[in-house]
Amino acid sequence: MRYLYLVWSNLKRKKLRTLLTLLSITVAFMLFGYLAAIKQGFSQGIDVAGLDRLIVRDKISIIQLLPEAYESRIEQVEGVVDAVHQTWFGGVYQKPSNFFAQLPVEPEGYLAMYPEILLSEAEFEAWKGTRSGAIAGRGLADRFDWKVGDRIPINATIWPREGGERTWEFDLVGIYDGAEKGTDTSSFLFRYDFFEESRQFGKGLVGWYTVRVADPDRAAEIAALIDAEFANSPNETKTEPEGAFLQGFANQVGNIGFIMMAIVAAVFFTILLVAGNTMAYAVRERTSELAVLKAIGFSDRGVFGLILAEALVIAGLGGVTGLLLAWLLVAMGDPTGGSIPVFYIPTRDLLLGLALIAVMALATGTLPALQAQRLRIADALRR
Amino acid sequence: MGGMFNWIGQIASIVLFNLKTVPQRLGFSASAIFGIAGVVAVMVGVLSIAEGILQTMENSAVPGSVIVLRSGADSEMMSGLMGDDTRLIAQGPGIARNDQGALASPELFVIINLPKRNTGTDANVPLRGVTRTAFEVRDGFEMVEGRLFEWGLNEVIVGVGAQREFEGLDIGSSIEVAKEQWPVVGVFRAGGSLAETEIWVDASVLQPAYRRGNSYQSVYAKLESPGAFQEFKDALTSDPRLNVKAMRQSDYYAEQSTVLYNLITGLGSLIAVIMGLGAMFGALNTMYTAVASRGREMATLRALGFRPGPVVIAVLIESLLLALVGGLIGAALAWWAFDGFRAATLNFSSFSQIAFAFDVSPALLIRGVSFALLIGLIGGLFPAVRAARQPVSEALREL
């Protein structure tokens, strides 16, 4: 307790300086938290990818469509439990910048494949009973303030309706939640039978398949079996685990992780300089006081602890405040206004942040603390 | 007039005096300088990515040229035009002609998976099917290695950007399309435009390979004059046989980059502002310490008859000088590290890769240094006011 009081009075000694140092550390950790969320957003839910799910797409590129008839052939491959298809609709709601994914799917199969999509029984029944019915993720519905019962017009860019009409109208019959924090709730799902019946061309063709395998350990082997099934057909396939597929897509954007790391490193280096220097100055300024403490019986180790504790308090207060602020800022939404499907600070990055707080305290406090420890009373008092 | 000179003289002498004591506070001054340098370097670095993408888009738009897509399509990928449509479009009013005919190039645009060099994972590489007019409607096309593909053969040429960013595009290697191997026979440059990220092949070879029949996705056309656009557009949209939209290429490419540009500049500015706050606290700390450590000197000057105004301005100048040095170091660092740095990313609007070079433009450098000066101004202002306000008697008593 006695030490704590001493630490506290030392910090109060130059209130403004303490506050400014604290604030610069706060800013550093706020940025750290925010960048962690951005990195998470760009990785598009790789963390929650199903280990037992594979993605089957056309070998040439994902824009090439696959026959719907592949579904039953995939399901016959040994080790496959189930397969469902999805297609990129790519429509525009009101204006192009309101970007979100719209996918025609078969309701029952799709929800069985993605148990992390939580839809109430009543809404599921309503979807099955409404041909033009659609469901939206919670994030998406909140973004545009949609309610169940709304009629949502979407303009096709790829898929005109029969007769060339471009506007598709859907009835919102349900809003789904995500089972996990990282579950994407920014998608708009509507019925494939409605899509198939109404589209002008491309009938019988779908975008890609999601496949569930019985044994995740055999995923690579089963992927090879699926690709072999369609080898030398007009549509050869490329099958890979869901996580690898998502990682590949994130890699297309560029090495986001590396860029974020570089920025965070620059920030920390900067703050380390500022805070470390201030700490060193604060100790130098108090040389005679520290000598007095030693003269009245404080041990070398005690003085060392005293200074280090000061650094810990500053880094701890500033760092935790910064992480909290980042958390608040992230909760307010992503900078694009909703285009990033998942946006939160993962627990592992919060823990990393706490570890970095300790590192920063040690890095800024150790040197001045050592100086204080080595201080010889006679020399110091003579100054 | 005499008072004015006296004032400036006072400022100059305080600034000089202050600067002479900088070495005594080297740690603080250096941390402020490097703090600000870090902010400027990161800000300029991130924004240069957006600038580079914008530059590539601007290079792609041929002045006075148009692109025609199916009505409702936002990008080439989503568009589709029948062979007959493209012939009608080529007959539109105002299209420039040479002795071979109208300068209207029907093109096919698809993507192909190729591994990106730096990650090894598949990327959406644009593959364009072209006819002979494609070379007439673009500026700055030149082969830099190898030769053009033979018309009618399944040979491809690749842009310099594509060759740099993706695996398997060197001359002599081949890409696999529709179970066939298509050899790479040449490398081209196209004035720093988007085309440099693309692979080109004869459209009549690509159509059957992607089962496109006699269809295309876009028509690139040169107009006789930029003023001919409205007439051309009206003729196309009022033609009952066509269901298309015509856009100036400058507008089209600007639209294609909006999402990406806004995302990067938005993020970059946000990061810069947050980092800037951090650096400002550092600068404030530095200047407060500077003022505090010279409280007696300042008070002595005031007692000698120096006025508060010059004291404030002198402290501000010192802070601004530190910020200027930091800003210049940061700008130089960003220029040295990032300018011309080549990368590729996914453009969401076209769902395909775009290769570009980071562009640290002079305007961006000026913005960076201005931001540094702003940090310096705020960082110096409060300490300066404190220095001037401190009562002389009190300051002199301080040890």
Chain pair A-B, CB pairs under 8 angstroms: 158
Which chain A residue's Cα is nearest to B276?
Answer: A27
pLDDT averaged per 10 residues in sequence order, chain B, 399 residues: 73 81 77 88 92 94 93 87 94 92 94 90 94 93 96 96 94 89 96 95 93 92 93 94 93 89 86 86 82 76 82 87 94 94 87 92 95 92 83 70
Give the H/E segment covering residue B300. helix B295-303
Give the Cα separation of B129 and B178 in Å (integer). Answer: 15
Indicate the residue of A63, A270, A336 with minimum beta-carbon distance to B34: A270
Q: Which of A114, A155, A161, A164 is nearest to A135 (CA)?
A: A114
Contacts of B161 (CB under 8 A, 6+ apart): B196, B197, B342, B344, B355, B356
Please indicate whether, in this complex, the C-beta atoms of B73 and A158 are within 8 angstroms of each other.
yes
Q: Using CB atoms and an 8 Å cut-off, which of residues 135-194 of chain B contact chain A?
A: 177-179
Residues in chain B: 399
Which of A21, A31, A61 best probes binding to B when mutated, by most B CB atoms within 10 angstroms?
A61
Please indicate whether, in this complex, the C-beta atoms of A273 and B31 are within 8 angstroms of each other.
yes
Indicate the residue of B74, B123, B284 with minimum beta-carbon distance to A96: B74
- Residues of A with CB below 8 A from B211's CB? 234
B111 touches chain A (CB under 8 A): yes
Residue where the block lists tokens 């398997």: B168
What confidence score (pLDDT) does residue B11 get?
83
A164 touches chain B (CB under 8 A): yes
Residue where the block lists tokens 């740095």: B341
> What ipTM was estimated for this complex?
0.83
Please indicate whether, in this complex, the C-beta atoms of A21 and B285 are within 8 angstroms of each other.
yes
Q: Using CB atoms and an 8 Å cut-off, which of residues 202-221 of chain A contact chain B?
A: none
The predicted-structure confidence for A47-63, as pLDDT tens digits, reads as follows 777 889 999 999 888 88
Residue B164: how many other CB atoms lie within 10 Å: 17
Asked whether the predicted pLDDT for residue A341 surpasses 60, the reply is yes
For chain A, domain boundaries: 2-44+255-382, 48-253
For chain B, domain boundaries: 2-58+256-397, 72-242
What confidence score (pLDDT) does residue A1 get?
58
Please indicate whether, in this complex, the C-beta atoms of B267 and A20 are within 8 angstroms of each other.
no
Phi, psi at B72, each rounded to 5°: 95, -20
Which of B48, B281, B352, B390 best probes binding to A when mutated, by most A CB atoms within 10 angstroms?
B281
Contacts of A130 (CB under 8 A, 6+ apart): A171, A173
Residue A345: how many other CB atoms lie within 10 Å: 24
Strands B180-190 and B218-222: unpaired
Give the Cα separation of A54 and A144 in Å (integer). Answer: 32
Phi, psi at B121, each rounded to 5°: -100, 160
- Residues of B with CB below 8 A from A236's CB? 179
Which chain A residue's Cα is nearest to B37?
Answer: A270
Give the Cα separation of A178 and A96 in Å (integer). Answer: 26
What confidence score (pLDDT) does residue B125 get?
94
The predicted-structure confidence for A103-145, as pLDDT tens digits, reads as follows 999 999 999 999 999 999 999 999 999 999 999 999 999 999 9
Please indicate whether, in this complex, the C-beta atoms of B111 and A30 are within 8 angstroms of each other.
no
DSSP for B257-268, please give it: HHHHHHHHHHHH
Q: What is the CA radius of gyration of chain B?
A: 30
Q: Where are the beta strands (DSSP E) in chain A?
A: 53-58, 66-67, 80-86, 101-105, 117-118, 133-137, 151-155, 167-178, 187-191, 205-206, 208-213, 237-241
What confidence score (pLDDT) does residue A336 get?
67
Give the CB-side neighbour count of residue B327, counting CA atoms within 13 A.
24
Maximum alpha-carbon separation in chain B: 94
A264 touches chain B (CB under 8 A): no
3-state secondary structure of B396: helix
Contacts of B63 (CB under 8 A, 6+ apart): B226, B250
Q: What is the DSSP letter of B171?
A: B
Long-range CB contact pairs, B384-387, < 8 A, 24+: B384/B287, B384/B291, B384/B311, B384/B312, B384/B313, B384/B314, B384/B315, B384/B316, B384/B319, B385/B312, B386/B288, B386/B291, B387/B291, B387/B295, B387/B298, B387/B311, B387/B312, B387/B315
A294 touches chain B (CB under 8 A): no
- Residues of A with CB below 8 A from B42's CB? 263, 266-267
Work out the minimum CA distance from B344 to partner chain A, whole angstroms.
Answer: 7
Please indicate whether, in this complex, the C-beta atoms of B32 and A274 are within 8 angstroms of each other.
yes
Which chain B residue's Cα is nearest to A158?
Answer: B78
A350 touches chain B (CB under 8 A): no
Please indicate whether, in this complex, the C-beta atoms of B285 and A278 are within 8 angstroms of each other.
yes
- Residues of A with CB below 8 A from B271's CB? 31, 35, 263
Q: What is the mean pLDDT of chain A?
A: 89
Please indicate whether, in this complex, the C-beta atoms of A263 and B271 are within 8 angstroms of each other.
yes
Please indicate whether, in this complex, the C-beta atoms of A277 and B343 are within 8 angstroms of each other.
no
3-state secondary structure of A93: coil
Work out the minimum CA distance from B353 to partner chain A, whole angstroms.
Answer: 7
- Rounded (10°) CA dihedral A216, A221, A223, A226: -130
Q: Which of A49, A67, A50 is nearest to A58 (CA)?
A: A67
DSSP for A310-370, please give it: HHHHHHHHHHHHHHHHHHHHHHT--TTSS-SS-----HHHHHHHHHHHHHHHHHHHHHHHH
Indicate the residue of B110, B258, B275 with minimum beta-carbon distance to A267: B275
Q: What is the DSSP letter of A199?
A: B
What confidence score (pLDDT) does residue A16 get?
86
Asked whether the predicted pLDDT for residue A25 surpasses 70, the reply is yes
Q: Using CB atoms and an 8 Å cut-off, which of residues 304-343 of chain B contact chain A?
A: 343
pLDDT tier for residue A212 given thresholds of 50, 70 and 90: very high
A61 touches chain B (CB under 8 A): yes
Please indicate whether, in this complex, the C-beta atoms of B274 and A34 are within 8 angstroms of each other.
yes
Q: Which of B111, B110, B204 is nearest to B155 (CA)?
A: B204
